[in-house]
Amino acid sequence: MRHFILAGAFMLACLGTASAEDCKPLQMLGSADVAVQDGEVFANVVINGKPAKMLVSTAGGTTGFTPQGVTALGLDTIADSRVILINSKSESSESYVVIDDLSVGGAHIAHSQYMVLPTSGAGNADTDVVGVIGPDLLSHFDVELDFGAGKMNLFSQDHCPGKVIYWKHVAVSVVPLSKFQPTSNNSRTGYQGYMKRFEQMWVPVTLDGKDLPAQISTSGVSNMESNTALGAFNVDASSPGSVPSSNPLATPGIFQHKFSALVFDGVTVTNPNFLVYPFHPAKFTRQFKRTDTRLARLDDGDPASIVVGMDVLTRLHLFASFGEHRLFITEASGPPKPASAGGTQ
């Protein structure tokens, strides 16, 4: 029996070695130029042979095109989609388009369907922006975001596990990556699993000693709601480190607060600033009655969370390994774009 066990152990060791040798090196499929403007990331793409610019939104949920972009690209709109998009202004869309070829830095996505976004769906007034690239498209690849070099690189997911950091770095963090927000109400998560195209990027972080889920957003600044600021950090507009928003068009009640440290496992961002938005649960009163269904509701009691935006992300170099469900993070490999004061260690 002892000889049999030793032989089995030897066989498993050989299989493990063969597996490690058989895995493939990192293979880049495309490299797109990106630019950061007003806290948003824009990528140069080619759609059916026509150069275009799209917003890259890791918090956007779904890839889509604006009505103006559809017209500019000469696309045919198809009505009666099975999906209805509704934005924060209650504008909706039930139309979609078919793209023969979408090239992101040379990585081609052929014969795909995309929603036509509601009128204000692109989130930017730039009329040259034809649409939004969301995680539903990006998650078909592994994605490197190098804001210092102005590059978004797309890789095959078929590579050796964990062998993705190829640039020089001082510190590295590897954190779990989820496409959906963690929820404290497990009886209502069925809808998220059904709506597979509405994806985001969520990772665990520690902000001033508090462990929280964080959404990675390339289409805005770092922020949280006032109930999270008060409940998790005892922070309000009158707290030391809080200042009123400098944006004259900002919603009343918004303020900015400087925290001490945002930690992604082995990488720390010092002195991050977060916008704090007022939380108004009263406007969702009609959803407070339990329906005993698995449909998502706005009052489902999701745990406190934050959004990590471009003021932080430009100080980092990211590799989203969607195939491994992990986010690799190092300090920025080049001069970061202008951002708020602070640094990484």
CA angle 301, 57, 307 (to 5 degrees): 40
User: Where residue 279 sits, what CATH number does that domain have?
Assistant: 2.40.70.10
> pLDDT tens per residue, the chain (345 residues)?
444 344 444 444 444 444 556 889 999 999 999 999 988 999 999 999 999 999 999 998 789 999 999 999 999 999 877 777 777 677 888 899 999 999 999 999 999 999 999 875 454 555 789 999 999 999 999 999 999 999 999 999 999 999 999 999 999 999 999 987 766 554 544 433 334 456 889 999 999 999 999 999 999 999 999 999 999 999 999 999 999 987 766 678 899 999 999 999 989 999 999 999 998 664 444 444 445 555 555 545 557 899 999 999 999 999 999 999 999 999 997 654 443 334 444
Write down how long the chain is: 345
CA–CA separation, 112 and 117 (whole Å): 16
In the chain, the number of structural domains is 2
Where does 147-278 show beta strands of DSSP type E? 151-155, 172-176, 202-207, 210-216, 223-225, 242-244, 255-258, 261-264, 267-270, 273-277
Q: Is residue 133 part of a domain?
A: yes
| Token digits of residue 167 | 């640039």
In a domain, 203, yes or no: yes
User: Are residue 134 and residue 200 in the same domain, yes or no?
Assistant: no
**344, part of any domain:** no
pTM for the whole structure: 0.82
Q: How far apart are CA 145 and CA 312, in angstroms?
A: 13
Tell me if 106 is assigned to some domain.
yes
Two structure tokens written together for 214:
């964080």
With a CB cutoff of 8 Å and minimum separation 6, the contacts of 114 are 63, 64, 65, 96, 97, 99, 131
Asked, for residue 320, whether it belongs to a domain, the answer is yes
Supply the range of the domain harboring residue 278: 172-331
